[in-house]
Amino acid sequence: MRIWILALLTGFSVFMIQPHPVAASEFRDFQKQMNVANNLYKETQFYLRTGNPAIAGFNLLDLQTQWGKIVNRFQKNPPGLYAEDKKFATTLTEISRRIDRGLKLTDAGDLKKAATEISPARKLMVDLRRRNDLFIFSDCIYEANMAFAELFKYRANKPDYSNPAQVDEIRQKNAVTIFWYKRCSETAPEKISNDPQFRRLIDGALESFDLIWIAIREKDHARLVSNLQGVASFNRLLYLQFG
C-alpha cells in the first residue's frame, strides 16, 4: 500500500510515496538549499532567453556558488531519502558541470548555447527526486509544462483532421495537459493556491483548453494555434513564478 505524506517545506509540497527513515533536519536543509538553487536557475534561464548577458552572468555566478554549497555539504552524505541513491553524487556533479559550462558560454556572449547547456538541469533535479519517491509542487508544474510542450507541437505541425487517429492523439494530449494543470491547482500549497496570479494563470489556461476542445471538434486549426499561443504564455509564467 502506498502511503502519501504531505508536508510544507519552504513553500512547496512534498509527497513521499513510501515511508523512509529520514534525518529530518538534514533533509529539510537539503530541500531548502535546492529550492534556493531552483529559483536562481529559473531567473538565469529567463535572463539568458531574454538576452540580458550581464544579469544572466551574475545569476549564474550566484547559482554556481549556491550549487557548490549543496555539493560540498551533501554530495558525500546524501540526506534521508537520498541515502541509497547510487546516482546522487553523479547527478550533483553533472549539474555542476552544466552550470560551469553555462557560465563560460555566457561570458563568451553565447547566451543561446548557455541556455541550452543548463536546460537539462531542471530534469536532472526532477529525476533525482523521482528516483527517491519524492514529488514536490514544482515537479507538478514540471509535468504540466512537459505535457503542454507535447500539445504545443501541433502549432507548427498541422494534423490531418480527416484522420481519426491523429485527432484522437490531439485529444489525448489536451486531456493529459488538463489533468496536470488541475492536479497542480488542487495540490498547491495554501499560500500559492490563494495567490491571485496563480489562480489567473491556472484558470486562464483551463479556459483555453476548453476552447481547444472546440477547435479540435470543428477542425479549426487557426483557432487551435491561437489558443495554443495563449496557453504558452500562461505555461511559461506558471513555471517562472511557481515552478
Asked whether the predicted pLDDT for residue 18 surpasses 80, the reply is no
pLDDT digits (tens, 9 = 90+) for 192-233: 999 999 999 999 999 999 999 999 999 999 999 999 999 999
The Cα-based distances of 88 to 25, 62, 93 in angstroms read: 19, 22, 9
- Could you tell me the domains of the chain? 21-132 (1.20.120), 137-242 (1.20.120)
Per-residue buried b or exposed e for 170-191, using 16+ beta carbons within 10 Å of the residue's own CB: beebbebbbebbeebbeebbee
Biggest CA pair distance of the chain? 58
Residue 23: pLDDT above 70?
A: no
- Judged by DSSP in three states, 16 sits in strand
- Compute the average pLDDT of residues 123-143: 96
Q: Give the alpha-carbon dihedral of 37, 42, 91, 76, to 10 degrees.
A: 0
CB 188 within 8 A of CB 137: yes
**pLDDT tens, position by position, 146-162:** 999 999 999 999 999 99
The chain-wide mean pLDDT, for the chain, equals 91
Query: Please, which residues have CB within 8 angstroms of residue 182's CB and are 6 or more apart in sequence?
Result: 206
Cα 225 to Cα 231: distance, rounded to the nearest angstrom: 10
Strand partners, 15: 6, 135
Residue 116 CB partners (closer than 8 Å, separation 6+): none
Please return the burial class of 162, using the count of CB atoms within 10 Å of its CB with bins 0-12, 13-18 and 19+: exposed
pLDDT > 90 fraction of the chain, expressed in percent and rounded: 89
Could you tell me if 98 and 118 are in contact, meaning their C-beta atoms sit under 8 angstroms apart? yes
Report the run of H or E that residue 72 belongs to, with start and end. helix 53-74
| pLDDT > 90? residue 21 | no
According to the model, what pLDDT value does residue 25 have? 87
Chain segment 78-126, per-residue pLDDT in tens: 998 899 999 999 999 999 999 999 999 999 999 999 999 999 999 999 9
User: Is residue 15 pLDDT above 90, yes or no?
Assistant: no
